[in-house]
Amino acid sequence: MNTEQKQEKLLFAERPEWSDVDPIPQYETSTPIAPILYTPQYKDATDYFRAIVKSGERSERVLQLTEELIRLNPAHYTAWQYRYETLLALSSSLQTELELMNELAIKYLKTYQVWHHRRLLITLLRTPQPELQFIETCLRVDSKNYHTWSYRQWLLSHFVDDDDLWRGELEFIENVIGDDVRNNSAWHHRYFVVFGCGVRSGSEDRARIVRRELIFTKQNISLAPNNPSAWNYLRGILDYNRLPYSLCTRFVKPYTLPLDPNTVDIVDLENPPPSRGAELPCVYAIEFLADIHEKAGDKDNILKGVDLWKSLANEHDTIRKKYWEHRIREALQSAT
Amino acid sequence: MHAQPTLQKNLHLQFLARNMMQGFPARYLSQDASQPWLLFWALQSFSALQVGLDPDNRQRSISKIMSWQHSNGGFAGGPGQSPHLLPTYAAVCALAIVGRPGPGGGWDEVDRQKLYDFFMSLKEPDGSFRVAEHMEVDVRGIYCLLVTASLLNIMTPELVEGTATFLASCQTYEGGFSSASHPFYSIETDRVLRSPRPNLGEAHGGYTFCALASWIILQNYLNLDPGTIHPSDSSSRKTPAEEQWSNELTTERPRIDIKRLTRWLVNMQGSEIELGGFRGRTNKLVDGCYSWWCGGSFALLESLGIGGLQNLTAKDVEIDEVVDADQPPDNSGREQHEGWDDIDESLFDRKALQEYILLAGQHPAGGLRDKPPKNADLYHTLYCLSGLSAAQHHIYSSHTRKAETLAEWKDEDSPNNALQKAVFADLVSWVEEEGTSRVIGPSNSNRLNATHPLTNLTITHTEAILKYFYGQDIPPRPFIKTGASKK
């Protein structure tokens, strides 16, 4: 056992190099209501941390203390905050800090602070490129982690002019969706890449982009029709580009009916049919078709929409009965 | 007929009492920087369960809360920690429950000027706020700030300028809200661009509740007459900040897509095979805590005119009958909730949500949870109970009550009088009409206290703290029979 390992077993109260510090206990009264029953190790570290915050010390040993405290409780935001300020005050190597974060982020994937600290470091280091690989590693552990995805989106936004950083993004997200077509975080990321960040050079031909996205989405719906992520994305494409939903009428219709056992395999990129074994009719398709009818606005169409909503309310999507009734009311009111 | 699902109030009270009195086991160590939350979750769970603390424990709670106030303003996650928007909300709400005016009561010991300065120190040029110095920007922090500022009467136009625009930019293509959005600034003017404004993260139940509640509070600011803020400066040159105010209040009023938000919210409710619980994101599993974050959002939507009996016309009711006429008569369980459909015009299935919480959300050893076989914890205990309460009670923002409150307002000699008045009347306007609650299971034992849709405190606690900090009268409420058994 080397000295470093041995020292980690010692409480701060037992370490000679901390003997000049008077630890500060948390509560003056001995019996606060609703106490947390801390471990001796945690109590010791936080007693010393409070003393350091009070004295305002910035030193190497503060980095050691905050690291140990963070390992005991990675959600201790004050320890992170104090650590960040100390790193700056000491002009410490941020690269070394980032390497430490590589270990801690995977360990404590679900805490806000590991990800935010990383943002602070990368903002100063301006080294976004290796982050992409790191994020992919984290996504292999948890493919829907909210912090990990927001971090990737922050990175791409913050370095929005870095073409090298952005180069492989569409291919990356294509693969993630390919791995799990129901991963909504991935669909959201696709929207971020294609529409959310503005027009990148090389993608000025918006008609081509829209066509590509529609084909991609329809194919994914064809493979797994009851996937709300893909339907929401389809709506997202049309809404963002102010295109009418009726562009998709021919595509949507087969999904609103029971599966036709006599479907022949045809390759139609614009209107891929439901795959064999698909569970139909699909609620999202019925809803989509009803929206098309509502938008058309004339009485005949409104009534067709109402029939579709009724079928959702009473048969296919009964948990949302009240919502479908609300849609019927809205449509009938605007029609009169 | 099988036994009616029962809310195990005694088991849950024991769970809460155990944590409050004996303390939290060491696994709660991860919540050491969220101590105000632990206390708020426990205290508000007691309130929802219609139980108050004895004077001794109230006093101990107040002392503990005040030990979190930071010398620079705001409340921290624990003594000696830094002030942060999230624990500030939890601490102030906990004080609303157990505190009082006068020495040792906590209310007069909150340093509101320093708190305001702390809030201003966190503000970003795009109208958003960091949750603490150097820390992240997100809509949770904004909700916490706005509720705190509303309760303590420290809201000013300066504080919230630009914030509604930021919130609107957090709505995603799906309709719900993300944690934040990324600002791009114009090189020429250094002002934040309206577009592009990418979302950081996908639409999420927790962020959506926070954004929507914040949006509603900020309507009080957006609805101000610009003249009431700068009555005398029409001839003088405006500063860029003032320019932005008047833009926001007149021409460039931010908008959200309510129709898309409604669609997203209703789709968070799981189907019958998921027992009608709520999920927090598309294609994720249902979780008891979203009973509040999503289920609680419907009362907020109603105040924007979507859903709710108060928003219906006589013609609408006829339309309902048209829809039901097509349905074969259904006798399965409908009789036992006779009259349910007559008054329930919520856009979500209130009955199914109650069943989810009662059947899946309760831990057999007390406390509530995400879903079986998970353990209970305080966070899930409160948000399951708040969600159950939101599904039992129909609380809405009444125009009549708002008008009464506005009429009784005594003008203050303050440049912020118009905003203070609007915020106060808005918070006081929420009412429940007699006979409109619907409780699944044995109603005398399953019934919870109603929760204020914006603060997630009881209406009584919300009004008591408002009355004190605004020094205004609150119109009396019609007495509502709760049918609750007093403990």
For residue B338, what pLDDT is reported?
A: 43
For residue B244, what pLDDT is reported?
A: 59
For residue B333, what pLDDT is reported?
A: 40
Q: Which residue of B has its CA nearest to A333?
A: B316
For residue A86, what pLDDT is reported?
A: 98
**Tens digits of residue pLDDT in B379-407:** 999 999 999 999 999 999 999 999 999 99
For residue B180, what pLDDT is reported?
A: 98
| Residue A140 vs residues A28, A134, A179: alpha-carbon distances, Å | 46, 10, 11
What is the rounded average pLDDT for all residues in chain A? 94
Q: Is residue A84 part of a domain?
A: yes
Q: Among B135, B186, B340, which would you mutate to test the A interface (most chain A Cβ atoms within 10 Å of its Cβ)? A: B135
Domain that holds residue A85: 10-92
A110 is catalytic: yes
What's the rounded Cα separation, in Å, for the pair B66 and B87? 12
The residue type found at B53 is L
Pick from A183, A195, A320: which is nearest to B269 by CB?
A: A320
**Average pLDDT of the segment spanning B319-343:** 49
**Tens digits of residue pLDDT in A299-312:** 999 999 999 999 99
How many CB atoms are located within 10 Å of the residue B231 CB?
10
Q: Is residue A71 part of a domain?
A: yes
What is the rounded average pLDDT for all residues in chain B? 90
Q: Is residue A202 part of a domain?
A: no
User: What angle in degrees, to the nearest 10, is found between the helix axes of B35-48 and B85-98?
Assistant: 40
**Could you tell me the pLDDT band of residue B331, with boundaries at 50, 70 and 90?**
very low
Q: Is residue A239 part of a domain?
A: no
For residue B365, what pLDDT is reported?
A: 97
**Tens digits of residue pLDDT in A223-278:** 999 999 999 999 999 999 999 999 999 999 999 999 887 766 677 888 999 988 89
**Tens digits of residue pLDDT in A273-309:** 998 889 999 999 999 999 999 999 999 999 999 999 9
Per the structure, the count of domains in chain A is 1
Q: Do A32 and B64 touch (CB under 8 A)?
A: yes
Distance of residue A262 Cα from the nearest chain B Cα, in angstroms: 30
What's the rounded Cα separation, in Å, for the pair B401 and B394? 16
Phi, psi of B2 (to 5 degrees): -75, 165
C-beta separation of B287 from B371 below 8 A: yes
- Output A293-297 pairs: Cβ under 8 A, ≥24 positions apart: A294/A327, A294/A331, A295/A244, A295/A245, A295/A246, A296/A246, A297/A334, A297/A335
C-beta separation of B46 from B86 below 8 A: no
Hey, which of A210-219, A262-271, B312-321 has the most confident mean pLDDT? A210-219
Distance of residue A264 Cα from the nearest chain B Cα, in angstroms: 30
Q: Is residue A228 part of a domain?
A: no
Distance of residue A241 Cα from the nearest chain B Cα, in angstroms: 12
**Could you tell me the pLDDT band of residue B36, with boundaries at 50, 70 and 90?**
very high
Tokens of A302: 């409104």
Residue A146 contacts B, CB cutoff 8 Å: yes
**Tens digits of residue pLDDT in A43-53:** 999 999 999 99
**Is this complex scored with an ipTM above 0.90?**
yes
How many CB atoms are located within 10 Å of the residue A298 CB?
10
- List CB contacts (< 8 A) between A187 and chain B: 202
Residue A73 contacts B, CB cutoff 8 Å: yes
**Average pLDDT of the segment spanning A92-116:** 95
**Could you tell me the pLDDT band of residue B233, with boundaries at 50, 70 and 90?**
very low
Pick from B30, B284, B349: which is nearest to A75 by CB?
A: B30
Among B151-160, B229-238, B363-372, name the one with the lowest average pLDDT: B229-238
**Tens digits of residue pLDDT in B91-121:** 999 999 999 999 999 999 999 999 999 999 9
Q: Do A322 and B315 touch (CB under 8 A)?
A: no
For residue B334, what pLDDT is reported?
A: 38
DSSP state letter for B132: S
Residue A195 contacts B, CB cutoff 8 Å: yes
**Could you tell me the pLDDT band of residue B47, with boundaries at 50, 70 and 90?**
very high
Q: Is residue A120 part of a domain?
A: no
Residue B352 contacts A, CB cutoff 8 Å: yes
Q: Do A184 and B204 touch (CB under 8 A)?
A: no
Residue in B64, B100, B284, B374 annotated catalytic: B284
